Amino acid sequence: MYKLRPHHGLCSAFFCGHGYSEAFTANMTDVLRRFHRDDPYLTLTVGEDCICQSCPHNCAHVCDAAEKVARYDNAVLSYCGLAPGSVLRWSAFCRRVDAEILDRGLLREICGDCAWVSICEKGNRNR
């Protein structure tokens, strides 16, 4: 079972090979490939997850933008009717994020101050 930050459900929808570093991009590509192939169970967490592990903003297991990403995580949880520790399959989580956030046009409301939001708004969902 994988741990996943809820806001990564948004990031994953538009990921197109750009990232904070080569290591981050390679890890994100690998994680998403496994998730799409295996449809694993996830435990939603508001801490470090399998994507954060290779992020240059991960400083001693804590994001250097912890307040901002916690806000994103909590918004995703709230809109999707989930809580930290919720367990569900990757596909079920994606369907929920798509229906409750993306299909309703709420991306900018949740993460409008993210450096990557313009890429997401221009991109096509990749799931």
Q: Which helix (H) or strand (E) holds 23?
A: helix 22-38
Tell me which amino acid residue 89 is. R
**Residue/partner pairs of 26-33 with CB below 8 Å, 24 or more apart:** 26/54, 27/51, 27/53, 27/54, 28/54, 31/2
Give the pLDDT of residue 59.
83
CB atoms within 10 A of CB 121: 11
Q: pLDDT (tens digit, 9 = 90+) per residue, 74-99?
A: 999 999 999 999 999 999 999 999 99
List, run by run, the mean pLDDT of 10-residue segments along the chain (127 residues). Answer: 97 91 94 97 96 85 86 98 98 98 96 93 84
Helix 66-80 and helix 90-97, axial crossing angle in degrees, nearest 10: 90
Contact indicator for 49, 2 with CB cutoff of 8 Å? yes
Q: In what order do the strands lie in the sheet with 41-44?
A: 2-4, 41-44, 87-89
Would the CA dihedral through 55, 56, 62, 68 be positive or negative? negative
Q: Among positive and negative, which fits the CA dihedral 8, 12, 60, 1? A: positive
- What pLDDT was estimated at residue 61? 83
pLDDT for 122 equals 87
